[in-house]
Chains A and B, each alone.
Chain A
Amino acid sequence: MLADFSWCDTPFRMKAKIIITPKKAVLDPQGKTVQTALEHMGYTGVTGVHIGKYIEIDLAPGTDKAAAHAAINDAAHKLLSNPIIEDYKLEIE
């Protein structure tokens, strides 16, 4: 019999973390504006700022990691990012 862990689900939670960034060739006016602001504030050595998105997807406990990776990779390509203008990184924890 499985132990009842419903009182504490934190250790068993799985998450997919997707970081989406604009492709290098794509104009990123937000990044440019923030870079300029950083320079005006006196932060030196900043050679680029790229602003993207961070998406976290909660997965049901016990989900197969490899299968989840394949499915979310597919979703990231079709919906979560636009491959014409964005790159993404996917991690499952």
Chain B
Amino acid sequence: MNFSVLQFPASNCDQDAVHAVRLLGHSARLVWHKDASLGDTDCVIVPGGFSYGDYLRCGAIARFSPVMQAVKQFADNGGLVLGICNGFQVLTEAGLLPGALIRNRDLQFHCENIFLKTATPDSPFTSQIPAGKILRVPIAHGEGCYFADEETLAKLKANNQILWQYCDANGNLTDTANPNGALQNIAGICNEKRNVAGLMPHPERACEPLLGSDDGKWIFESIFAVLKNKTVAAAA
């Protein structure tokens, strides 16, 4: 599988994403923000960082870059897109995902390991996560508090678009386990078509035991499984 990892000025998790994909046995390459084409791509990763210095609002400027026009088209055609941290912010600003990410409720930057509960296995990003498995992955953000108006939130729930929620070690969705004040402990969501997802935590930083956890790999394994099925279906 070929992964394209976008690279904006001040992206800083781009290399981590490339590393994680390669470590898990697939190919990945960086795509510069000024490139208007993604080339031969099976999945796009919009990585973490501080694209364009986070000026104005996180992700607000990145949204207008040439590469994001290509990503929009790729997503419109059903391509898989995963936004991590700043990448999640970019996707919401671009309108590819509903809602917005605002300042953490305690105004602090949080850099720590958290626990994630997978709300549904029904998505290309969660299908291979073992049932009941609580993922331990790091977060590193100052503006990760997920917000959406009531109508949008109701739609997210009705369509099963909430993918991950912050929880404690036992899987309880408590307020103390919520690091940023996100509505309904939301850590990650997908679009209605289920081919675009975003999450604030960093699965790419938790794909090998050396880094303290390899729980993040399940998210990538889910993507690989879907792409593999697609390839098999296309060949048949």
- Which residues of A line the B interface, CB within 8 A? 22, 25-27, 29-30, 33, 79-80, 82, 84-85
Question: Could you say which residues of chain A place their CB within 8 Å of the CB of B99?
Answer: 84
- Which residues of B line the A interface, CB within 8 A? 56-57, 60, 64, 92-93, 99-100, 102-107, 145, 147-149, 181
Question: Could you say which residues of chain A place their CB within 8 Å of the CB of B106?
Answer: 29
Contact residues of B: prevailing secondary structure: loop
Determine how close the nearest CB of chain A comes to the CB of B139; give it in whole angstroms. Answer: 17
Known: A26-B147, A79-B64. A84 touches B100 (CB 8 A): yes
Determine how close the nearest CB of chain B comes to the CB of A32; give it in whole angstroms. Answer: 9
B100 touches A85 (CB 8 A): yes
A82 touches B93 (CB 8 A): yes
A30 touches B149 (CB 8 A): no
A82 touches B147 (CB 8 A): no
Q: How many A-B residue pairs have CB under 8 A?
A: 35
In the complex, residue of chain B having the shortest beta-carbon distance to the beta carbon of A81? B57
Q: How many angstroms from the CA of A82 to the CA of B147 in the assembled complex?
A: 12
B147 touches A29 (CB 8 A): no
Listed residue (B99, B106, B107, B147) with the most chain A CB atoms within 10 angstroms of its CB: B147
B56 touches A79 (CB 8 A): yes
A25 touches B149 (CB 8 A): yes
Question: Could you say which residues of chain B place their CB within 8 Å of the CB of A29?
Answer: 103-107, 181
A84 touches B149 (CB 8 A): yes
Determine how close the nearest CB of chain B comes to the CB of A72; give it in whole angstroms. Answer: 15
Known: A27-B147, A80-B56. A85 touches B102 (CB 8 A): yes
Question: Could you say which residues of chain A place their CB within 8 Å of the CB of B103?
Answer: 29-30
Question: 5 A-B residue contacts at CB 8 Å?
Answer: A29-B104, A29-B105, A30-B103, A84-B147, A84-B149
Question: Could you say which residues of chain A place their CB within 8 Å of the CB of B149?
Answer: 25, 84
Question: Could you say which residues of chain A place their CB within 8 Å of the CB of B147?
Answer: 26-27, 84-85
B93 touches A33 (CB 8 A): no
In the complex, residue of chain A having the shortest beta-carbon distance to the beta carbon of B95? A84
B56 touches A84 (CB 8 A): no
Question: Could you say which residues of chain B place their CB within 8 Å of the CB of A84?
Answer: 92, 99-100, 147-149
Determine how close the nearest CB of chain A comes to the CB of B165; give it in whole angstroms. Answer: 18
A27 touches B181 (CB 8 A): yes
Question: Could you say which residues of chain A place their CB within 8 Å of the CB of B181?
Answer: 27, 29
Q: How many angstroms from the CA of A80 to the CA of B60 in the assembled complex?
A: 8
A79 touches B100 (CB 8 A): no
Determine how close the nearest CB of chain A comes to the CB of B60; give it in whole angstroms. Answer: 7
In the complex, residue of chain A having the shortest beta-carbon distance to the beta carbon of B183? A27
